[in-house]
Amino acid sequence: MPELPAPASRRERLRTQTLQELKAASLAEVRERGAVGLSLRSVARRLGMSPAGLYRYVDSREQLLTLLIADGYHDLADHLLVALGTRPTERTAGQAAEPEVPLIAGPDRDVAERIRAVALAYRAWSVAHPNLFGLLFGDPIPGYHAPPGGPTVEAMNRFGRALAQPLIEAWEQGRLRSHPALDAEELAAPLAPMGPAAGELPAAVLARLLLSWGRLHGQVSLEVFGHHHWLMPEGCERLFRADVEVTLRDLGVC
């Protein structure tokens, strides 16, 4: 979120500052108690405000959650971009202590190392913020659908671009191995009318992206939600690293 120059009247400055505090307090609640446990009254108590007062800044509890979702995607995207060597020190949004990025591989590094870096960063962020991971990727908010042009989809797109970046590079370098199951035309066909985010990505690359993302996401999801941890108390990270290596071989870059 680039800071707008906006000279902004005193009123407006106070307003945006209050809204930032509101989001920060809500974020803290979500981190501690999960998205389900977010209570407007409790947030109001933190801010020393009346519950009704919050409604000057937020339409409803649900809309507040979507604000946090957008921020969450931005935070995760920032994290991935750090792993890719972009955006070296900025890190404005996430004011709470951020997890270390386990591996940084800038644009000059081999593409396999860059994929590794983004995958490890994805897991590191998710494990460090399980409740935020749940907010982004867990049960969807019952009635909610993101408005097409809104800040939520923009944040999701930024995240998606960061995730796709090294795969696109691999494709540009001609290093994606062809695969009978992945290059079948019946797979590429439904991908042709792709969403607004995909841009000019060829279907075969998009297919590999979704597949690879899905794999890593599955491991992370099972770990964060406690399903791996229960069968395998230790070693989730090693299992994840093994999956990354297998995926790199499948892609052909390693």
Partner DNA sequence: ATAGCAGAGCGAACGCCGTTCGCAGACGAC
Partner DNA sequence: GTCGTCTGCGAACGGCGTTCGCTCTGCTAT
> Which residues would be at the binding site for its own copies (CB under 8 A)?
33-37, 134, 137-140, 142, 156, 160, 179-182, 184, 186-187, 189-191, 193-195, 197-198, 206-207, 210-211, 213-222, 225-228, 230-235, 238-239, 242-243, 245-246, 249-250
Residue that the structure tokens 């892609």 belong to: 251
Count, residues near DNA per rule CB under 7 A: 24
Query: Residues 54, 58, 62, 65: is their CA dihedral positive or negative?
Result: negative
Among candidate residues 119, 86, 107, 162, the one with its CA nearest the CA of residue 250:
119
| Residue 179 contact, options DNA, its own copies, none, Cβ 5-8 Å cut-off depending on partner type | its own copies
Burial of 59 (0-12, 13-18, 19+ CB in 10 A): exposed
Nearer to DNA, 54 or 136 (CB): 54
| Residue 35 contact, options DNA, its own copies, none, Cβ 5-8 Å cut-off depending on partner type | its own copies
Q: Report 61-120 residues binding DNA (CB under 7 A).
A: 61-62
- When binding is defined by CB under 7 A, the residue of 38, 77, 83, 84 that contacts DNA is 38
- Contact status: 46 vs DNA (CB under 7 A): no
Nearer to DNA, 62 or 172 (CB): 62
Q: What is the CA radius of gyration of the chain?
A: 20
| Residue 50 contact, options its own copies, DNA, none, Cβ 5-8 Å cut-off depending on partner type | DNA
Q: Which ranges of the chain does DSSP label H, i.e. alpha helix?
A: 10-33, 40-47, 61-83, 111-128, 130-137, 151-172, 185-191, 203-224, 227-231, 236-251
Q: Which two tokens stand for residue 56?
A: 């000057």
- Given the rule CB under 7 A, which residues bind DNA? 9-12, 14-15, 18, 38-42, 48-53, 55-57, 60-62
